[in-house]
C-alpha cells in the first residue's frame, strides 16, 4: 500500500507543488531584499534559507531518480507503458534537480569562502541573492513543469 502511494503520480504532483509553494515564499523574501536593500551588505535570516531549498530540491531529485524502485515493487511483472514513460521523464528531471541543488550549494559555499577570506565589496551580498534568485526561478519552473506532467496521464 505504501509503495502505491509513494510511487503514484499524484504524490509527485503533491510534492512538487509543496516544494514550489515553499520555494516561492523564500523567493518573495529574496525579491523584497533585492528591491529594498541593494545598498546593504548583509543577508537577513529570512533570505538566507537556501539550505532549506537545497535539501528539498535534492531530496525530491533523488526521489524522482529512484522512483523505478517503487514501480518495481508495485508492478512485479510488467510496468504499463504510460507509467514507464513518466518514470523515464521523472528520472531525467530527478537528475536535473540534483544538479540544481549542487549548483545552489556550490554558489553558496563560494560566497561563504569569499566572506571568509575577507574579499568583500559593496553589492557582493546583493549579487549572491540575485544569482540564487535566478536559480530558484529556474527550479520553480521545472517544479511546475513536473507537476503539470504528472497530471497528464
Average of pLDDT values for 102-112? 86
Which 8-state DSSP code applies to residue 93? H
The model's pLDDT over 13-70, given as tens digits with 9 standing for 90+, comes to 888 888 888 888 877 877 777 777 655 555 555 556 677 788 889 999 999 998 888 8
Helix or strand or coil: residue 91?
helix
The model's pLDDT over 125-147, given as tens digits with 9 standing for 90+, comes to 778 878 888 888 899 899 999 98
pTM for the complete prediction?
0.79
pLDDT of 37 reads 66
Within a 10 A sphere around the Cβ of 90, how many other Cβ atoms?
A: 24
Reported as half-sphere exposure (CB side, CA atoms, 13 A), residue 1 has a value of: 0
Q: Which domain holds residue 57?
A: 2-151
Which 8-state DSSP code applies to residue 77? S
* Contact between residue 139 and residue 1 where contact means Cβ atoms under 8 Å apart: no
Instruction: Please state, in angstroms and rounded to a whole number, the distance separating the CA atoms of residues 64 and 43.
Output: 32
The model's pLDDT over 72-97, given as tens digits with 9 standing for 90+, comes to 888 888 888 888 888 899 999 999 99
The number of domains in the chain is 1
Amino acid at each position: 500500500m505504501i509503495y502505491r502511494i509513494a510511487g503514484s503520480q499524484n504524490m509527485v504532483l503533491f510534492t512538487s507543488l509543496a516544494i514550489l509553494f515553499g520555494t516561492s515564499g523564500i523567493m518573495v523574501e529574496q525579491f523584497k531584499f533585492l528591491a529594498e536593500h541593494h545598498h546593504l551588505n548583509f543577508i537577513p535570516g529570512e533570505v538566507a534559507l537556501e539550505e532549506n531549498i537545497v535539501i528539498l530540491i535534492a531530496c525530491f531529485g533523488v526521489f524522482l531518480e529512484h522512483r523505478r524502485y517503487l514501480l518495481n515493487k508495485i508492478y512485479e511483472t510488467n510496468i504499463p507503458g504510460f507509467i514507464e514513460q513518466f518514470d523515464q521523464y521523472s528520472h531525467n528531471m530527478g537528475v536535473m534537480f540534483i544538479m540544481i541543488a549542487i549548483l545552489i550549494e556550490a554558489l553558496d559555499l563560494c560566497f561563504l569562502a569569499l566572506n571568509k577570506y575577507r574579499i568583500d565589496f559593496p553589492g557582493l551580498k546583493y549579487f549572491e541573492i540575485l544569482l540564487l534568485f535566478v536559480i530558484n526561478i529556474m527550479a520553480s519552473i521545472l517544479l511546475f513543469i513536473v507537476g503539470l506532467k504528472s497530471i497528464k496521464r
